[in-house]
Amino acid sequence: MKTKWFQVISLMVVLAFAFAAVAPAAAQPTLKPGGGNSADQVIESSNGVYIVQMIDEPVVAYDGSIPGLKATKPEMGEKIDPYSPAVTKYVARLIEKHDKAVKKAGGSKLYDYVYSFNGFAAQMDLEQATKLATSDGVLMVTPDELHTVDTSSTPSFLGLDAEGGLWEHLGGIGKGGEDIIIGIVDSGIWPESLSFTDRVDANGVPSAKGKKVFQQIPGWNGKCVPGEGWNASYCNQKLIGAQYFNAAWGPGGIDAQRPWEFNSPRDYNGHGTHTSSTAGGNYGVPTTGPAATFGSVSGMAPRARIAMYKALWSLEDGSQASGYTSDLVAAIDQAVADGVDVINYSISGTLTNFLDPAQLSFLYAADAGIFVSASAGNSGPTTSTVAHPGPWLTTVAAGTHNRGVTGSVTLGNGITYYGISLAGAAVTAPLVDSVNVGLADAVPAEVELCFSGTLDPAKVAGKIVLCRRGSNARVDKSLAVYMAGGVGMILYNSPDSSLNADFHSVPTVHVQSADGLAIKTYIAANSASATATINKAVFDYSTPAPYTADFSSRGPIIAGNGDLLKPDLMAPGVDILAAVAPPGNSGYNFNVYSGTSMSAPHVAGVAALLKDLHPDWSPMAIKSALMTSSYDVLDNVGTANKIFRMGAGHINPNAAADPGLIYDSGWNDWLAFLCGTTNGVGPATCSLLEMYGYSTEPSNLNVPSVAIGALAGTQTVSRTVENLYGATSHYEVSIEGLDGIDVAVKPAELILNPGESADFEVTFTTTTATLNTYAGGFLTWSDEHGHVVRIPMVVKPVALAAPVEIFGTGDPLSFDVTFGYSGDFSATARGLIPATTFTDTVLDDPTDEFDPEGPGVMKYDIAVPAGTSYFRAALFDDYTDGADDLDLYVYRGTTLVGSSGSGTSAEVVNLINPMAATYTVCVHGWGTDGPDAVYTLFTWVLGTADAGNMAVTAPTTAVIGENGTIELTFSGLAAGTKYLGSIAYTDGVTALPLNPTIVRIDTP
């Protein structure tokens, strides 16, 4: 099964924001009329479900501006009461409007969203969705999309159980998080796990006390919903709520689509149980099965309450769980209504859009005082892969921790190879290569990968088998060996990848590619006499840590042009031991998982501890405390690269309890940030924000980091800090790193009384720094009380700041550039050239596994001559014949040089200054709405010549730090044609070190 990062299409979203008045004259803004997307922008949904955003504010933001309807926005530190007359009356009004919209357009409503998002999800066809998009009161119509899932020693590694640690501050070892409610949006929960019993006594038996206490927690409005294999008695004073959401799965629901699943909050996959127990599982829970060798496990906030919101549904083999946006937003909305304090969201998400429905729901949740921890994504080590860009949530990268597990295998020739293993005892046996022990009718490639049912028991019984990593789950390979009678497995990477400690069906050691190939050579040379001993695993709790996990997604973010740092911070995410659900885990109750899915609940649990210790802290205060007290990973890379891996650094919970200063932000700050990064906030709101002193420059958002995606000469950013310490503090500033950039902080000293705030400015000026390369560093405030308040800074100096791409229809265009130097300047046209098109039919690929020689692939050879400045291949949703999901892959010979695989057919691959060669473009039918899809492929091969159809007017002189305006006019363009060109920049003699601005014109 192919795992994809599904990105929500970035369409214009006009938000119905209630502007929080900063002065008596401030008023409700005038919003852009007409809704957020026009009829021709609505994209067909793959499952026939659309998410509709309406114009009124949700419950958590409504300020009482409608006559006869009282305000429902909670006061600072309070939660909403969904059963209060004010809320029920306002909710009724919202739902009435939802119903009218559905009735007018047609369709069938699945969910009403009213608390953290105002809108609904409905089953409808494209014609109905298009009609709805232009209806009064509708802001945005978004097609539903599918998203996937993205600790015995970590409490000690984090210092929670140390003398003077957070647990001690909150009542003692194993304490912390009392009555803080952690909402988990995930794949469900296994209620029988001892991590979620009311209490666990010395014999591991659940206490019978307090079965109904969960109903009496102040501010809690949740419930325990019955379902398949589940009744209300499974909830208790630990697991206080459990609900499930699967309306988006179509006719017959989840029973028809995934009949092995539990149509209830019960977990099949294990992912939700794992994240829940990591964040808030009970203290000192004894492990069982293969995990028993590790001892007991504890959650980060052992006294916190857990509420499960199941919206992910598992594959039958338990290898993956996924869920639709419409179900996920329903889960978030319900969690806000129920009164959770913290939300953990270990699920994939958008890379490009601050305002997709989930990000928008989290925006309102944060404004309501809820801390959100989200996984950064598992697409590392590639840069710019980090997900969940919203500054109002905390995006968490994954690192290693200090529990080392060393595995080894000794061959019959005496050579020992080392890797990772959880083997509880040594095993010696004859050694065979999987490629030599397959059944006669098995597919050779599947035999090599040790697929279930491909190994011959007559050749495997009593032997250790060498298996190659890939395609099927690692634990499925050892199960296949076990089922064929094998007694051990050597798993080797090919190519090199992470080494993972899994609970296998037979003793297993996992080694890298070179060692695996050496073992393969040994077997080939000693066919009948090859033997091996898989040695007992060695555990070590002094392994140097943390390092960044290879899989952890990196910055810089794609959204916002690099003017915000993501990820925010790092937590343990490699080989994390926690409770799981037995059905998807070979019957085990505990297992080790790796991923940013595992790092996010560490932060959610620690946030619950800080909320317990400091009930008056806002979500951003908690985030700031965690970021400013963090420390560096051990990666031996440059400072900027390190920051893009770890954010501010690895969490240090005990130091976060007393951070000294915080960088706080709230509703108006976030709106101002959106004014500078999207067109999602109306101009009147943005003007009003600026009138009252809110900067719409994205780099000025008051977060505990600084990011400037394009430093053209010089730029000044501002920040505000607040003293949370109980005494007057004298802070002095220091700067580390940022070589080749002059950094001036004004003022350089701050004297703050308790609760007092102060502003400061940081001015960055390029001196000798390399252009177009990020520089990294840190700004630190230190006081006489021992507080060290550090924030990361990443800055990319450029000779010119200009748009990456602009779009038009043939009318005149203009855009501004900012100069990073002083001297001569010119801008020249390349192109425009019309697209070369290929209209064809591609079959659906039943394997969902792209192979250039496999099924469901159409190929096109494109000649790219010397001197080509830009090559683009693109597909468009409007140019397929249905709700198809097509992907693009581009090869130069056998080398993959670019790919695009979103959740629709909106795909593009760009190559800048490509090597002269013949490139092969592959269109892959990953998911068609029938047996095939009819599509049009567009390609452009752009040189450096001016085609004479685009005239450029530009300044002739550049002045560092100042702006210049580029004006474009067009002539002689054919109707109904997609053109591509670019604007190249020089200092009058040589090209500036900046990629040309791409110009795309679609003539009507």
Catalytic residues: 186, 271, 597
pLDDT of residue 827: 95
Give the per-residue pLDDT at 155.
79
- Tell whether pTM > 0.85: no
Mean pLDDT (whole number) for 657-668: 96
Q: Is residue 21 predicted with pLDDT exceeding 50?
A: no
Whether 455 has a pLDDT exceeding 50, the answer reads yes
Instruction: Using the predicted structure, report yes or no on whether residue 454 has a pLDDT greater than 90.
Output: yes
In the predicted model, is pLDDT for residue 1 greater than 60?
A: no
Q: 227-236, 267-276, 625-634, 666-675 — which is least confidently predicted?
A: 227-236
Using the predicted structure, report yes or no on whether residue 10 has a pLDDT greater than 70: no
What does the pLDDT look like over 791-843, one tens digit per residue? 999 999 999 988 889 999 999 999 999 898 889 999 999 999 999 999 999 99
Q: In Å, how far from its chain's centre is CA 94?
A: 30
Q: Which two tokens stand for residue 474?
A: 């690692």
Kind of pairing between the strands at 181-186 and 305-310 = parallel
Supply angle C-alpha 24, 30, 31, rounded to 5: 135
**pLDDT of 133:** 84
Which residue do the tokens 């091969």 mark? 941
CA-to-CA dists, residue 637 to 381, 548, 633, 735, 968, angstroms: 13, 11, 10, 19, 43
Give the pLDDT mean for 198-216.
49
The band of 753, judged by pLDDT with boundaries at 50, 70 and 90, is: very high
Among 167-181, 241-255, 328-342, 634-648, which is the least confidently predicted range?
167-181
Model confidence at 889, in pLDDT bands (50, 70, 90)? very high
> Taking the C-alpha atoms of 25, 27, 32 and 34 in order, what is their torsion angle to the nearest 10 degrees?
-150
Task: For residue 424, name the pLDDT band (cuts at 50, 70, 90).
Answer: confident
User: How many helices (DSSP H) and strands (DSSP E) are in the chain?
Assistant: 18, 53
**Whole-number pLDDT of residue 839:** 97
Query: Would you place residue 846 in the very low, low, confident or very high pLDDT band (cuts 50, 70, 90)?
Result: confident
The pLDDT assigned to 215 comes to 53
| pLDDT over threshold 70, residue 206 | no
pLDDT at position 761 over 70: yes
The pLDDT of residue 598 is above 60: yes
pLDDT digit string, tens, across residues 75-124: 888 899 999 999 999 999 999 999 999 998 899 999 999 999 999 999 99
Over residues 418-440, mean pLDDT: 93
Distance linking the first and last C-alpha atoms of the chain: 40
* Interval 576-587: pLDDT, tens: 999 999 999 888
Q: State pLDDT tens for residues 479-505.
A: 999 999 999 999 999 888 878 878 888
Mean pLDDT to the nearest integer, 389-408: 90
Amino acid residing at 918: T
Lowest mean pLDDT among 351-355, 407-411, 758-762, 972-976: 351-355
**By percentage, how much of the chain surpasses pLDDT 90?**
67
Around Cβ 444, how many Cβ atoms within 10 Å? Answer: 10
* pLDDT exceeds 70 at position 647: yes
Pairing outcome for strands 706-712 and 788-798: parallel
Distances (CA, A) of 603 to 307, 346, 527: 17, 11, 51
Please choose, from the candidates 427, 435, 420, the residue with its C-alpha nearest in 3D space to the C-alpha of residue 521. 435
> Across the chain, what does the average pLDDT equal?
89
* SS3 (DSSP) at 7: coil
Euclidean distance between CA atoms 555 and 334, whole angstroms? 31
CB 363 within 8 A of CB 390: yes
Predicted confidence (pLDDT) per residue in 545-566, tens digit: 799 998 999 999 988 889 999 9
Cα(120)–Cα(312) distance, integer angstroms: 19
Q: 995 phi and psi, to 5 degrees?
A: -65, 140
Which among 352, 316, 319, 346 has a CA at the least distance from the CA of 331?
A: 346
Give the sign of the dihedral formed by CA 236, CA 237, CA 239, CA 242: positive
Spacing of C-alpha 900 from chain mean position: 17
Q: What is the separation of C-alpha 116 from the centre of its chain, rounded to a whole number of angstroms?
A: 20
Show the 3-state SS of 89-100.
HHHHHHHHHHHH
What's the mean pLDDT in 943-955?
A: 96
947: confidence class by pLDDT, cuts 50, 70, 90: very high
pLDDT (0 to 100) of residue 77: 83
- What lies within 8 Å, CB to CB, of 455 at 6+ separation is 434, 437, 438, 439, 442, 447, 465, 480, 481, 483, 484, 486
Other Cβ atoms less than 10 A from the Cβ of 348: the count is 29
Residue 588 region by backbone torsions, left for phi larger than 0, else alpha for psi between -120 and 50, else beta: beta
CA distance readout (Å), 442 to 228, 464, 676: 38, 20, 58
Check residue 199 and give its pLDDT: 58
Q: DSSP assignment, residue 619? A: H
- Cβ atoms of 930 and 882 within 8 Å: the answer is yes
The secondary structure of 799-865 as a DSSP string is: SEE--SEEEESSS-EEEEEEESS-EE-EEEEEEEEEPEEEEEEEE--TT----TTSSSEEEEEEEE-
| Residue 680 confidence class, pLDDT cut points 50, 70, 90 | confident
CA dist 111 and 108 (Å) reads 10
Extended beta strands in 144-261, E state? 146-148, 181-186, 239-244
